[in-house]
């Protein structure tokens, strides 16, 4: 075990007791930012790294959907992971979503040409239309196809491969059938989000099955699911002391201080406002390539999370009908 950081928290009371951050985060532990379509994209990662530097070790990009009609390196699909654009953000690992081994290899080659050393395969997306097309968590029921995809990536590119999985589609045990395939290849790591696809993000993450699969899979494991507070992390680290890789999504989008707090790094709460203003600016800047409705919807989606984190009613944001309206709300309410 590494060192446990003992840093006084904000609640520290000089008169009475010392309250220490004992989140159990060690020098071996790493934090990953979860991929979240439209939320943890480049605009977010840049602002986050500027205001909360070095609190997240790596990000996995929101998925790049593998095209069925040819792959073009110039496509805007790759903009989120273009290395030059990512210089100010935390290191990113591109994630792909697809099911056709040849097209996946073509996409991986573009990622490789950009200078990346690793690609992450999405085997967890729970959306019905994606699952029914044997993509995302739909792959969890396709042992032969998964073997072909993994084999193709590892034999036809020089990339390292990591996987992001759920437990199954409707069953907890779909993942079980993939274990021989997953364990047969030199996979860099496997992120386990211990829910079934039909659960989406509801209900409690199944920690017992996480524990089971973490033991069955012989590769490095990343835990992912429902880390919303320092206490959540501490409880999970106490239960799984050998896990040193942690992925957080909604918790960090809601509360950008969370990653630092887990590490025992405390930022002045005053930076929340300029951070949110920078995000707002980044949303607006994307107008040159995206239409207003799209940008408005993205701002609404983001406001759901940040309002929850700040204990503010998100209704006015969600009812906004124009960019002007939501921008004013960002400026006055957040």
Contacting residues toward ligand FMN, per CB under 6 A:
34-37, 39, 62-63, 95, 122, 124-125, 164, 193, 201, 224-227, 248-251
Q: How far is the CB of 332 from ligand FMN (least distance, A)?
A: 26
CA atoms of 257 and 272, how far apart (whole Å) = 9
Q: Which is nearer to ligand FMN, 227 or 279 (CB)?
A: 227
Element (DSSP H or E) covering residue 274: helix 272-285
162-191 exposure pattern, b = at least 16 Cβ within 10 A, e = fewer? bbbbbbbbeebebbbebeebbeebebbbbb
Q: How far is the CB of 124 from ligand FMN (least distance, A)?
A: 5
Residue 214 near residue 192, CB atoms below 8 Å: yes
Q: Which residue is nearest to ligand FMN (CB)?
A: 249
Q: How far is the CB of 21 from ligand FMN (least distance, A)?
A: 20
Q: Which is nearer to ligand FMN, 250 or 280 (CB)?
A: 250
Query: For the residues of 298-325, what is the DSSP string, one character each?
Result: HHHHHHHHHHHHHT---HHHHT--SHHH
Q: Which is nearer to ligand FMN, 71 or 163 (CB)?
A: 163
Q: How far is the CB of 199 from ligand FMN (least distance, A)?
A: 11
Q: Which is nearer to ligand FMN, 20 or 65 (CB)?
A: 65
Q: Which is nearer to ligand FMN, 204 or 273 (CB)?
A: 204
Q: Which is nearer to ligand FMN, 24 or 130 (CB)?
A: 130
Element (DSSP H or E) covering residue 123: strand 118-123
Q: How far is the CB of 63 from ligand FMN (least distance, A)?
A: 4
Q: How far is the CB of 227 from ligand FMN (least distance, A)?
A: 6
> Which pair of structure tokens corresponds to residue 146?
């998964």
Q: How far is the CB of 301 from ligand FMN (least distance, A)?
A: 7
Residue 9 near residue 33, CB atoms below 8 Å: no
Q: Exposed (0-12), middle (13-18) or buried (19+): which is 13, by Cβ within 10 Å? A: exposed
Query: For the residues of 204-251, what is the DSSP string, one character each?
Result: ---HHHHHHHHHH--SEEEEES---SHHHHHHHHHH-TT--EEEESHH
3-state DSSP call for residue 264? Answer: coil
Q: Which is nearer to ligand FMN, 124 or 168 (CB)?
A: 124
């Amino acid at each position: 075990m590494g060192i446990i950081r003992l840093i006084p928290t904000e609640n520290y009371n000089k008169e009475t007791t010392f309250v220490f951050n004992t989140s159990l985060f060690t020098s071996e532990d790493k934090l990953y930012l979860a991929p979240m379509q439209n939320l943890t994209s480049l605009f977010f990662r840049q602002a986050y790294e500027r205001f909360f530097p070095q609190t997240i070790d790596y990000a996995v990009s929101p998925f790049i959907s593998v095209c069925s009609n040819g792959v073009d390196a110039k496509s805007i699909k790759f903009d989120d992971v273009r290395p030059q654009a990512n210089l100010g953000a935390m290191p990113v690992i591109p994630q792909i979503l697809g099911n056709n081994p040849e097209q996946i290899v073509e996409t991986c080659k573009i990622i490789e040409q950009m200078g990346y050393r690793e690609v992450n395969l999405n085997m967890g997306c729970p959306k019905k239309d994606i699952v029914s097309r044997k993509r995302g968590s739909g792959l969890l029921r396709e042992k032969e196809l998964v073997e072909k995809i993994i084999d193709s990536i590892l034999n036809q590119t020089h990339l390292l491969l990591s996987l992001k999985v759920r437990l199954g589609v409707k069953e907890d045990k779909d993942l079980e059938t993939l274990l021989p395939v997953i364990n047969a290849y030199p996979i860099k790591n496997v992120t386990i989000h211990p829910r079934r696809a039909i659960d989406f993000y509801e209900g409690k993450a199944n920690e017992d099955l996480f524990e089971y699969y973490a033991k069955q899979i012989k590769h490095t494991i990343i835990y992912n699911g429902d880390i919303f507070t320092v206490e959540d992390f501490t409880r999970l680290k106490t239960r799984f002391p050998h896990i040193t890789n942690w992925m957080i999504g909604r918790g960090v989008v809601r509360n950008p201080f969370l990653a630092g707090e887990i590490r025992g790094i405390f930022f002045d709460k005053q930076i929340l406002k300029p951070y949110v203003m920078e995000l707002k600016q980044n949303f607006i800047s994307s107008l040159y390539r995206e239409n207003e409705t799209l940008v408005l919807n993205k701002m609404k989606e983001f406001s759901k999370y940040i309002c929850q984190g700040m204990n503010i009613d998100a209704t006015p944001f969600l009812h906004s009908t124009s960019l002007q309206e939501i921008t004013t709300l960002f400026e006055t309410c957040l």
